[in-house]
């Protein structure tokens, strides 16, 4: 079953005034099972993380998190209703129970984690904020942006980071804010701003979509830490564990060399006890989650491990962002990165 809807919330105040829904008060897993599908929140279409193909199907690194959770629960990655929500309304929609899960390049910060009634889980991408400029501008460093107009999306960490960077370096940058990133980019392309400032992965996605990508460049400076990952409502530890360990299963599978292509063979013949536990051949790791023994097998078989999804959507896959994983924080811990799963035992 494929359920894909465009769930755009335009009037944030109306959403904020909405009563807490039943899904916010009950056990999320039971509600999702009874409904028959997961409601997973993404953003407006953006390359690499959540985008739409010609047939209206969602795909991307964050979409894979949604699909992994659906595969873990239902044994079917397609039992997801994707909700495309504005940056201004995203956290309220999750807290109010309109969504079961948020997976949309949201930065984990202390205030978001402690003041919004949400729990941020394991990052699935480590990013940092940067700047895009025209090559013809002659600007080669963010420190040359003194007095510049910089386009930025309101309601994001990028807006505050830009203000902090400007103040710390006495640059007197003027932030030109937008609710719609399409309007933001169009303003930049028409000369209304000297630069655009967002996460560097998003900058890469935007440049690909520009009419003349080769006319633009990303400046070398990274001005912030942006751990991006899924979030859920506070107060349901079982649900948080399901989402957290669905992602850990993908990371652990890559470390163990288990892929969507070999998972059947590994389940049938592997002597590695860690592989056997993860795939449900032995042990009872599923019981604490309230899922079937093949929950992790279904994730790897249908969605793939973390590395497969990185290459497909962010790395060198067709239409991917072309961001090399080597030497970045998004490498496995065994290769010097931060992608790390606690032991599945």
Mean pLDDT calculated for residue range 100-121: 96
pLDDT in tens, 311-332: 999 999 888 999 999 999 999 9
pLDDT of residue 156: 86
Q: Tokens standing for 339? A: 């992608």
Kindly list the distances between the CA atom of residue 339 and the CA atoms of 14, 102, 109, 269, 310, in Å, as whole numbers in the listed order: 38, 20, 18, 27, 12
DSSP string, 122-141: --SEEE-EEEEEEGGG---S
> How far apart are the C-alpha atoms of 120 and 124, rounded to whole Å?
11
> How far apart are the C-alpha atoms of 286 and 242, rounded to whole Å?
10
- Look at residue 14 and tell me whether its pLDDT is greater than 70: no
Rounded to the nearest 10°, the torsion over CA 5, 11, 16, 19 is -60
pLDDT of residue 22: 39
Confidence of residue 86 (pLDDT cuts 50, 70, 90): confident
List, in order of start, the domains of the chain with CATH numbers. 3-125+228-335 (3.40.190.10), 129-224 (3.40.190.10)
| Residues 85, 90, 151: CA angle, nearest 5 degrees | 80
pTM: 0.88
pLDDT in tens, 220-241: 999 999 999 999 999 999 999 9
Among 228, 207, 192, 244, which Cα is nearest to 132's?
A: 207
> How far apart are the C-alpha atoms of 168 and 286, rounded to whole Å?
49
């Amino acid at each position: 079953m494929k359920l894909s809807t465009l769930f755009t919330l335009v009037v944030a105040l109306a959403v904020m005034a909405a009563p807490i829904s039943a899904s916010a008060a009950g056990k999320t897993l039971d509600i999702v099972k009874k409904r028959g599908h997961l409601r997973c929140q993404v953003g407006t279409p953006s390359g690499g993380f959540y985008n739409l193909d010609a047939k209206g199907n969602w795909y991307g690194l964050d979409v894979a998190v949604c699909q992994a959770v659906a595969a873990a629960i239902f044994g079917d990655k397609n039992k997801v209703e994707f909700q495309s929500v504005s940056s201004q309304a995203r956290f309220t929609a999750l807290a109010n129970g309109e969504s079961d899960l948020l997976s949309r390049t949201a930065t984990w910060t202390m205030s978001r984690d402690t003041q919004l009634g949400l729990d941020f889980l394991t990052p699935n991408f480590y990013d940092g904020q940067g700047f895009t400029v025209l090559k013809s501008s002659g600007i080669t460093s963010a420190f040359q942006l003194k007095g510049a107009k910089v386009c930025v999306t309101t309601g994001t960490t990028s807006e505050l980071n830009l203000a902090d960077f400007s103040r710390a370096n006495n640059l007197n940058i003027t932030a030109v804010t937008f609710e719609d990133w399409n309007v933001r980019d169009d303003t930049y392309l028409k000369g209304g701003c000297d630069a655009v400032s967002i996460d560097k992965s998003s900058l890469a996605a935007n440049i690909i979509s520009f009419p003349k990508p080769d006319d633009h460049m990303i400046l070398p400076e990274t001005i912030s830490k942006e751990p991006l990952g899924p979030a859920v409502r506070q107060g349901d530890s079982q649900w948080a564990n399901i989402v957290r360990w669905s992602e850990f299963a993908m990371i652990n599978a890559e470390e163990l060399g288990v892929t969507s292509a070999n998972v059947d063979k590994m389940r049938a013949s592997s002597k590695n006890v860690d592989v056997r536990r993860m795939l449900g051949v032995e042990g009872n790791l599923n019981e604490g989650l309230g899922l079937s023994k093949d929950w992790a097998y279904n994730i790897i078989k249908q969605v793939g491990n973390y590395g497969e999804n990185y290459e497909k959507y962010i790395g060198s896959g067709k239409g991917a962002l072309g961001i090399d994983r080597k030497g970045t924080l998004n490498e496995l811990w065994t290769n010097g990165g931060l992608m790390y799963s606690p032991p599945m035992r």
